[in-house]
Amino acid sequence: MIGDRWHIFLEPHFDDAALSCGGTIARLVDAGADVLVVTVFGGKPEDESVLGAFARIQHARWRLGDAVEERLREHRSAMAVLGCAHRVLPFPDAIYRGALYQSEDALFGQVSSDECPLIGQISRILEELHGERPRVRFYAPLTVGHHVDHQIALAALPSAAETSLYEDFPYAAREARAVADATARVGAVHERDVPVGATLARRIDAIRCYASQMGTLFGSTDRMERTVAEYAGRTGEPIERYWCRGVPPDL
């Protein structure tokens, strides 16, 4: 069912929804659905003058000055390509949250117990979104790759919400067992495959807007285009695959 419900795509960072679900979002928009992309960790660090060494390394890789503001500009361009509404929450990325995650191992490890209040804050906002829209389906990360911000986004979901879990891309394409490990970890089962042959080009165009991330995620724009097309077409017709906890619900 499309016309009588909201579709809220929960992305940890600028780019995650376009990377993983861009074809689905474009398909829903084209069908007249109400679609909202919510970026959880789109806020600025509390004090940009005292960024940790790990955050400074990331900024250098991205070749950005005011990283959050410039990434927001990229995001607005991507959302315009997909044609959907978007909202940015004020919470800063893990690399800006003090000394908690100051290495690759920490960033892709366990969520710190110090983050419990943060999870509660995010959860309350999502509960409000859920309450404002009596019929809504959330789309949240399956946590392929195990990034702490992806884990937090999933943990903050309203427990009563209808939810589809998306395969975090490009992590899902990097290791053969990455998706299987994530589904085992969160207790997810295959829900549905969404055909995106007609909208895959829009997904690629939206991802292209995040120019600062091309080198880190793919090496080049050309390689991004090939990786997206190859992974989407791994079963034949291009698809985006979704998972759920428990018994798959009807669409």
Which among 107, 173, 170, 165 is positioned nearest to 140, based on CA atoms?
165
Fold (topology level) of 6-245: Rossmann fold (3.40.50)
pLDDT at 17 over 50: yes
Distance CA 93, CA 195 (A): 32
pLDDT at 60 over 90: no
The pLDDT confidence band at residue 20, using thresholds 50, 70 and 90, is: very high
Span 21-58, pLDDT tens digits: 999 999 999 999 999 999 999 998 877 666 788 888 88
Q: What is the pLDDT of residue 167?
A: 98
Q: What is the pLDDT of residue 134?
A: 74
Distance CA 1, CA 70 (A): 36
CA atoms within 13 A on the CB side of 120: 5
The pLDDT confidence band at residue 251, using thresholds 50, 70 and 90, is: very low
Mean pLDDT, all residues of the chain: 92
Residue 90: strand, helix, or coil: strand
> pTM of this prediction?
0.94
Lowest mean pLDDT among 65-69, 115-119, 201-205, 241-245: 65-69
Burial class (CB in 10 A: 0-12, 13-18, 19+), 52: middle
Q: Give every CB contact of residue 88 below 8 A, 6+ residues apart in sequence.
A: 38, 39, 42, 43, 72, 75
Q: What is the pLDDT of residue 59?
A: 84
The pLDDT confidence band at residue 246, using thresholds 50, 70 and 90, is: low
Span 98-147, pLDDT tens digits: 889 999 999 999 999 999 999 999 999 999 999 888 789 999 999 999 99
